[in-house]
Amino acid sequence: MNATKKVALVVGAQGVIGRNLVEHLATLDDWEVVGLARRGGETRPQVRYIAVDLLDPADARAKLRGLDHVTHVFYAAYQDRPSWAELVPPNLAMLVNTLDAIEPVATGLQHVSLMQGYKVYGGHLGPFKTPAREDDAHFMPPEFMFDQQRFLESRQAGKRWHWSAIRPAVVGGFALGNPMNLAVAIAVYASMSKELGVPLRFPGKPGAYDKLLEMTDAGLLARATVWAATEPRAANQAFNISNGDLFRWNDMWAKIARYFELDVAPPLPLSLDTVMADKAPLWTAMTHKHGLQPIAYQDVSSWRFADFVFSWDYDMFGDGSKARRFGFHEFVETEAMLFGLFDDLRRRKLIP
């Protein structure tokens, strides 16, 4: 192996963020990639997968003991739970178990990257200070991202490796078999609206239609994550990473409707989790009619996630200037990102 070769351990390699990070790293000649996921993955040149239960310390140690060549850990794993407090133990345990397993064997470890988000600022709780900055004060816990970062900071003290914390906005991307992201939800909602002959209505809270928000392209996020992990100036720092532009649904929604050749009707608050619950027969019929991939309706979209995003009747954006000051200058136009994702879903025969 090339002495300068870097070896990435991508934890949570089958999620939207992890999958796109693996894809980006696989295009770089000086990286080798090991992906961790509960269900593993298909090995190919430069990339291999390990199926592991990171909630089981013994399984983590057994599966990772041979990874003595890992130089960079990219942590993007997540376990969902019903309440904020219940999220803390499993999500902290997975990070702890990963480092407990990898640090003793990977003596050449250089960096640990932690994927976070605007939950660090309380963006999921209600109106918060915008633009959010990386040095904003924490709020009253529980919040698992606080526990993860404190653990990482404590663990790194006196070590040769460094850490970074990456904070994206809503991520736009696609992961096969894990389509829990906003672009997929919008595309399926629009496709069903068209099939039913109804106009495209914004289904969120009334106040959400005209608020400022931003998104983060999954490819841009992958490039920023690798940059922060390899740029010496970025060591032991947190960075907001977004596309670089802001938008309001009252403008973007009409553009989305035009893409799908739909009329726009006035917004109407709808719980997508409720109104889309009976649409499995419609989806099955659309699959046959349009020759779509035979994906089970429950795996097509996460309506609760879409409801959550569309409920933000307050501004949702961060200050992205720190990453630029430290040397990362890439940006993506959000409108182009969404249409590119819709095009990709059509190419994959996941929507008509």
186-233 per-position pLDDT tens digit: 999 999 999 999 999 999 999 999 999 999 999 999 999 999 999 999
Please tell me whether residues 234 and 284 are part of one structural domain. no
Is the distance from CB of 171 to CB of 118 less than 8 angstroms?
no
Q: Would you state the pLDDT for residue 302? A: 87
Same domain, 195 and 339: yes
- Per the structure block, which two tokens stand in for 91? 């999500």
- pTM surpassing 0.85? yes
Residue 261: inside a domain, yes or no? yes
Q: Where are the alpha helices (DSSP H) in 236-279?
A: 249-259, 272-275
**Total number of domains constituting the chain:** 2
Residue pointed to by tokens 């906003």: 182
- In the prediction, which pLDDT does 4 show? 80
Same-domain check for residues 202 and 281: yes
Q: Provide the 8-state DSSP code for 127.
A: -
Residues in the chain with pLDDT < 70? 1-3, 175-180
339 and 278, same domain (yes or no): yes
Residue 70 CA to residue 75 CA, distance in Å, equals 13
Same-domain check for residues 132 and 269: no
Instruction: Map residue 215 onto helix, strand or coil.
Output: strand
Residue 141 and residue 43 in one domain: yes
Helix (H) or strand (E) holding 284: helix 280-290
For 113, phi and psi rounded to 5 degrees? -105, 130
CATH number of the domain where residue 37 is located: 3.40.50.720
pLDDT at 176: 60
For residue 171, list its beta bridge partners: 216
- Radius of gyration from C-alpha coordinates of the chain: 20
CA angle 173, 178, 183 (to 5 degrees): 35
Torsion angle in degrees (nearest 10) through CA of 214, 165, 26, 17: -50
- The DSSP bridge partners found for residue 215 are 170
Burial class (CB in 10 A: 0-12, 13-18, 19+), 154: exposed
Query: Domain span at residue 49?
Result: 6-171+215-241
CA–CA gap between residue 82 and residue 105 (Å, rounded): 35
